[in-house]
Amino acid sequence: MVIVMKPSATKEAIEKIQRKMESLGCQVCVTQGDNYCLLGLVGDTSKINPSQIEANENVDRLLKVQHPFKRASRVFQPHDTIIDVDGIKIGGGNVVIMAGPCAVESEEQLMTIAREVKKHGAKFLRGGAFKPRTSPYSFQGMKEEGLKLLKKAKEETGMPIVTEVMCQETFDIVAEYTDILQIGARNMQNFALLKKAGQCNIPILLKRGMSATIEEFLMSAEYIMAEGNANVILCERGIRTFETYTRNTLDISAIPAIKELSHLPIIVDPSHAAGKWAMVEPLSKAAVAVGADGLIIEVHHEPDTALSDGAQSLKPKKFGKLMTTLNHMAAALEK
Ligand code: PEP
Ligand code: MN
């Protein structure tokens, strides 16, 4: 951090703020220019409250040099985090495909889709049992019944499960059944839930909030990591912009940006980004091209009867075609 003092700041005022910063545990390098005096803070700045400094009437500006996230940062850990789930590696340049229905609807529905996505090369089965729906009148998910079906699908296909946990009350029950816990876009800043997720050792798939900046997204990962769970997989799923043609706007530049800022794996959800099945293939290809570590894709064998997100769900045949294309791309990119 660099504190820029106002030209009017007296020697006493500068010394006072210098002593205060030193008492909080950092070193202070004072540079006196013709007009401005700069205080460069180095070392441990964790106890400093930037807002208090900015409130000081002798301070002109505060410049932040470091990012506020630490554990999630590449500065803290230069090498890529690779998360191993049942021998499947997420991160470090692999392209892992997670696929399945938006929501678990019935045994027949889940088993049909699970067999299809497995056949085409998906490594994880996704499916919501507790669904965060915009309307309280929409299908809310099969809850524990749905979790049991996911377990059954795993037993048959061998694919580990990704499913969403929506609140602290149902955390333990969801954690009992799943291999990866999804925290959805709407809960990205549910700090109590993030802390709870940080206290378990199950990998967390953290989706970007629909209006979250990249820094806020990484700060949410930091919440989980600060509690002791370092196994965080980030997921870009589109953000809200002025555009209404698509459900969200896929922020494709977030992938290289996060790769630069963080060592955590980042995957892309083209389904919730587009909201339209026909755009899932081009967005998936774009995501792999910019370096995503994987994709999470909604698939349904009868999208016109789906209880949620049918419009953005690929039919198994289309999913198979996409997988062939992605395999060619991965080979070309030496992934
Ligand atoms: C989902 O994965 O079905 C979902 C609800 O996603 P998001 O939280 O990204 O909207
Ligand atoms: Mn969905």
Spacing, Cα 247 to ligand 2 middle (Å)? 11
Q: End-to-end distance of the chain based on CA atoms, in angstroms?
A: 39
- The predicted pLDDT at position 37 comes to 96
Best of 166, 182, 249 for a ligand 1 pocket test (most atoms within 8 Å of beta carbon): 182
Let me know if 324 is exposed, middle or buried by CB neighbors in 10 A (0-12, 13-18, 19+).
exposed
Pocket lining: 102 vs ligand 1, CB cutoff 6 Å: yes
Per-domain boundaries in the chain: 2-63, 83-332
Residue whose CA lies nearest to ligand 1 atom number 6 = 184
Pocket lining: 99 vs ligand 1, CB cutoff 6 Å: no
Residue whose CA lies nearest to ligand 1 atom number 10 = 185
- The predicted pLDDT at position 45 comes to 87
Q: What is the pLDDT along the chain (335 residues), one digit of tens a residue?
A: 999 999 999 999 999 999 999 999 999 999 999 889 999 999 888 899 999 999 999 999 999 988 989 999 999 999 999 999 999 999 998 999 999 999 999 999 999 999 999 999 999 999 999 999 999 999 999 999 999 999 999 999 999 999 999 999 999 999 999 999 999 999 999 999 999 999 999 999 999 999 999 999 999 999 999 999 999 999 999 999 999 999 999 999 999 999 999 999 999 999 999 999 999 999 999 999 999 999 999 999 999 999 999 999 999 999 999 999 999 999 999 88
Cα–Cα distance between 289 and 220 in angstroms, integer? 26
Spacing, Cα 100 to ligand 2 middle (Å)? 10
CATH 3.40.50.300 fits 83-332, yes or no: no
In Å, the largest CA–CA distance within the chain is 77
Spacing, Cα 133 to ligand 1 middle (Å)? 9
Spacing, Cα 230 to ligand 1 middle (Å)? 22
211: which residues sit within 8 A by CB, 6+ positions away?
Answer: 239, 240
**Are 200 and 232 in contact, with CB atoms under 8 Å apart?**
no
- The predicted pLDDT at position 335 comes to 83
Categorise residue 116: left if φ over 0, alpha if ψ from -120 to 50, beta otherwise: alpha
What's the CATH code, domain 2-63?
3.30.70.1140
